[in-house]
Amino acid sequence: MGGAVKENNRTTIHYLAAGTLGLTLVGCSGGSGDASSPGDYAQTSENGVSVLTPDGAIDPTGTWNVGTRSGDYVHVAGMRGIDPDTNELVDGDLERVRQGFLNMQTIAESEGATLQDAVRLVVYVTDMDEHRPLVNEVQEELWGEAMYPPRSIIEVTALNDDDIFEVEGTFYAPVEDD
């Protein structure tokens, strides 16, 4: 039995390694990744995970992208209150929270999703008592009376650039059949 377990472990490690290598991004079509040209993405892995680079999105500041498409799902990276025109944080706490949600919305909409298509949100704030009410206010403003997605809100010690807020989301946006 020990040999079978050892062989299963080797097989599992082999598949994990192959899966990791499979996620290495290949190809470069130079597309914008917007919904007007589905399948025209900056980069796509062998397994079909595509990097999103929509017009109007903020510029990534490091080794990350603003979002990916994986099948019928759009995954948006943590968005903060950065003005996409200047790549600088906007002034004011409420304005910063609103801008973070708008940045997330831009990426989701580039793939045909709306805020009502959010299947999960994760929000990070540096002060729960002070910033959670702002998050609720902005969500009420942007979602209206539509259904709200499941959300986790987590207080953290710090965020990049001493920001107060960050939101990430997953959206359902079925790929249209050609």
**What is the tens place of the pLDDT at every residue in 128-146?**
999 999 999 999 999 998 8
| Angle between helical axes of 93-109 and 128-143 (0-180°, round to 10) | 50
Under the banding of pLDDT at 50, 70 and 90, the label for residue 36 is: very low
The Cα 33–Cα 121 span in angstroms is 22
CA-CA-CA-CA dihedral for 38, 75, 100, 116, to nearest 10: 80
Q: Give the pLDDT band of residue 40 (cuts 50, 70, 90).
A: low
pLDDT value of residue 14: 41
Q: What is the mean pLDDT of residues 16-24?
A: 37
| pLDDT tens digits, one per residue of 56-79 | 999 988 899 999 999 999 999 999
